[in-house]
Amino acid sequence: MLVIKAISNLKSSKSIMQIDLDLLFSWGAIAKEYKKNEVIFDEEEMANFYFQIIEGSVRMFNSNDEGKEFTQGYFSNGQSFGEPPLFIDESYPATAVAFQDSKIVKLSKDKFLKILDEYSSIQKQFLNLMAHRIHSKTKTSKDIINQKPEFRIIAFLNAHKKGSDCKIKELVPFTRQEIANFTGLRVETVIRAFAKMKVDKKIDIINHKIYF
């Protein structure tokens, strides 16, 4: 029996659609293990596969000629990533690397598209997923373009906060450099902003770890 696992994260206005692993494997998918920082695909590489994370996490980013990186997004257990170019015969617009040791399902583009054709329920959930991601990306981009450094950082932290209780501070699982990469700020700017946020009691810093 086909199982579609859809989990809505109301806090970040983001949906996770997980296609049943047995279904993916029955269509010829394989599971591959990636070490931390191992490249899954490169920017400008032709998009030929659907990827879904079994365990671990993935970071997608762009880099310029000077080596400065801008993080496009983080993906974790149950999430798929890098799908849009599969529909338009384009290359990947960003590089994807394992953010930690990860196990990822990989299915050929042709078979993935056939699954969507055969199962209208998956196709509908997938359209919903894409709509949520576009909406979330637009809001995040607005925060990055229009706001001061502190507001950019807060927008990023809110988007990745797992709990629904904003009064309870959680450990931030990103380094200062990773937050800088995502928000387009210099790491020195992030450090100064965190110092101010600590004074304002918006975050706690315990043993160099950030709680928000």
How would you classify residue 44: left for phi > 0, otherwise alpha for psi between -120 and 50, otherwise beta? left
Cα–Cα dist 75/97, whole Å: 10
pLDDT reading at 67 higher than 60: yes
Q: Is 57 helix (H, G, I), strand (E, B) or coil?
A: strand
pTM summary value = 0.75
Interval 181-192: pLDDT, tens:
888 889 999 999
Rounded to an integer, the average pLDDT of 29-37 is 97
pLDDT band, residue 163 (cuts 50/70/90) = low
What fold characterizes domain 147-211? Arc Repressor Mutant, subunit A (1.10.10)
Share of the chain above pLDDT 70, in %: 87
Q: What is the mean pLDDT of residues 50-63?
A: 95
Residue extents of the structural domains in the chain: 4-139, 147-211
Q: Does domain 4-139 have CATH number 2.60.120.10?
A: yes
